Structure 1
């Protein structure tokens, strides 16, 4: 039996090749996190994959956010499947049960913890030596603790507590348990590229929870587990001292090239299962396609597939099951004028806009409410079309509106004006005309900025008015051109630009990593 977990950072990126991706991972059970898809956007090519049965959990509050999915080969069809950790999302006979004690949580907290689509649980029957037993696989995408949002830190710790409660309840009920996914916390200093740069590394609440949840790492399957929690980090079980074994890297800084990352993706197993059935576990940093890499584990037990998937399987969803829908779902009374207007509507300008529009329920009321805004968009599109034809070069834009008022300036405007010819009135009209044409999206002709022109003073003037991006400096260590970045974090420097070394982030001792060059771009430059 082989199992894989991978934070894929968006399942729709595999829309044309999901089966090929699953086949190449070569596992019986494949658990993915951060699918970023809600049910209304779930594509059949993603949900129904030949040779697999799949199970999804979706975010209830935000589109394109969170989400997990488990794909099981037909030879690994589970006997039961369930969405979430609390039981509040279970409304079918194929649930698993064993929820544990929720007395420390309010009803509202339990609802919120399951609303973000962070857990899918499947239960499998396996043959282990001479006995048949069950293994419960908990696929999770644990929350990230935003340091600027204290409430999310508390949410993350509550999720950990709920996760432990559910896992230990199943274990107590007699099932072996594998808990895997993106846990969003690196456990030990060996699991982090630069733990010394983090204040109070050991005091992090997530690490403290892992210290309680996990047993001591042991180098061999014959070791005696006598301290710590009920679960084992299977990677460290087989590789207790391996360094540089990371599963997540920053894409913004290109840190994967220098292996400057963290290990936050795990396969945990109860200590008895790890000791008796696990034969290997490792990471797959060579597999790209996400800012994370897959993690795999192999067991000696044999999967015994159920005859048919449990009710939660996506193949039973009405939109994929081929069931006849009510005709009224497709017949909507719509005003004919709104139909004609919508046919002219411009395409959305971004993926986020497309997702928002796809999430709107297509009802007559919604269509009527959108009619006015659609008309406005159509008018804008029409205006843009009629104004898109080139209007000549730059000189044509700077002819004076009132020739008598400008007097002798008329002749000088036939060419690029020199500094002596720029009277206050001329400068005012030039500035006005430039703004008007720039607003309309017109492109400035290069005729007025030709450095080979004999009007050098004019070129200097236009260069000062229509300056381009700031000159790129070279970093001091490598002597290579830097890259321009923009501060996106809220604060006094938000929107400010700066230059840094173009090489990927890494340790200071690594000659291939970026140096510490940093330079602000002066405002207005």
Structure 2
């Protein structure tokens, strides 16, 4: 099974920058996106008719939002942690026979860290949610988690320590999530690989020089580790300030 996750930073804009070409080329069984930044009816996305489409729109226009396009119809779909309670459209959960798939766009603490307290509280709720699902069946969780977990996951660790996305508090929440029974699939396959990132600033030359952050992840219940066959970042794919990430796993 091949799964893809991509923070598209506005799906309408990304659709004009090659999203459809990549979608068809990668041939994913399930393709998850974050930061769709649109409302129902604002895009006519031609996926070839083979994929079911599920959308969690933010109440605020042009903001946040998640979606999943899947060739295998899920048993159920949940919008938010609690049913229909999450106004920023950040979480979408697809239930399949043998696992749950969660796509998530974690809140940003903001440059001045004015939303850090909210972010940390949200992290606790998200962790508890994944744990509750994991008690029922294994979990795959993908998306933009808005944190570079370790120094190996960011180009300039020393100068960025304490900045939004690389505060000690945010990194500790990621550590606690993994300690709760989940693995970072990329690091499971590539524990020591350096200079692989998923987000780059829009400042001139930054992406060309690969001065990036790895903040997009596929997490998995630890018991799924033996089934993981590949975990990669398609860093060459443009269209957003993030690149797509790909997971291949022996699940039906």
Shared fold, TM over 0.5:
yes
Q: How does 1:138-153 map to 2 (within 5 A)?
A: 138-148=102-112, 150=114, 152-153=115-116
Preserved CA contact (<8 Å) 1:287 1:294 = yes
Question: For the structure 1 residues 77 and 195, does the alpha-carbon distance in structure 2 shift closer, same or farther, using more than 3 Å as the test?
Answer: same
1:281 paired to 2:243? no
Partner Cα separation in structure 1 for residue 251 and residue 232 of structure 2: 18
Residues matched between the structures, number: 249
* Structure with the higher fraction of residues in helix conformation: 1
Does the CA-based 8 Å contact 1:18-1:46 persist in structure 2?
no
CA contact (8 A) 1:147 1:153 kept: no
Q: Structure 1: 5+ residue runs without aligned partners? A: 90-110, 126-133, 215-227, 303-525
Let me know the Cα RMSD of the aligned residues.
1.9
Q: Given the superposition, is the C-alpha separation of residues 188 and 53 from structure 1 closer, same or farther in structure 2, using an over 3 Å criterion?
A: same
> Is this contact kept in 2: 1:68–1:120, CA < 8 A?
yes
Note if 1:159 corresponds to 2:122: yes
5 Å-filtered alignment, 1:224-373, equals 228-275=179-226, 277-302=227-252
Counterpart-to-counterpart distance in 2, 1:200 and 1:153:
11
Distance in 1 separating the partners of 2:38 and 2:120: 25
Q: How far off its partner does 1:281 sit? A: 0.7
1:3 aligns with 2:3: yes
2:146–2:216 contact (8 Å) kept in structure 1? yes
User: Structure 1 14/212 Cα, relative in aligned 2: closer, same or farther at 3 Å?
Assistant: closer
SS in 1 for 2:45: helix
Distance 2:104 2:20 in 1: 22
CA displacement at 1:54 relative to structure 2: 0.7
Over residues 364-399 of structure 1, what are the superposed CA-to-partner deviations in whole Å (9 max), with x where a residue is unaligned?
xxxxxxxxxxxxxxxxxxxxxxxxxxxxxxxxxxxx
Pair 1:31-2:27 in alignment:
no
Q: Distance in 2 between matches of 1:295 and 1:263?
A: 10
Report how far residue 286 of structure 1 moved.
Answer: 1.0
Cα offsets for 1:9-37 (capped at 9, x unmatched): 11112546654432122210000011110
For residues 214 and 120 of structure 2, what CA distance do their matches in structure 1 show?
Answer: 19
Partner of 1:53: 52
Larger proportion of strand: 2
Distance 2:249 2:155 in 1: 30
Query: What is the TM-score normalised by the length of structure 2?
Result: 0.92
Residue in structure 2 matched with residue 188 of structure 1 by the alignment:
150
Match of 1:69 among 55, 67, 70: 67
Pairwise CA distance, 1:249: 0.4
8 Å contact kept, 1:178–1:270 = yes
- Which structure 2 segments of 5+ residues have no match? none
- SS at structure 2 position matched to 1:257: coil
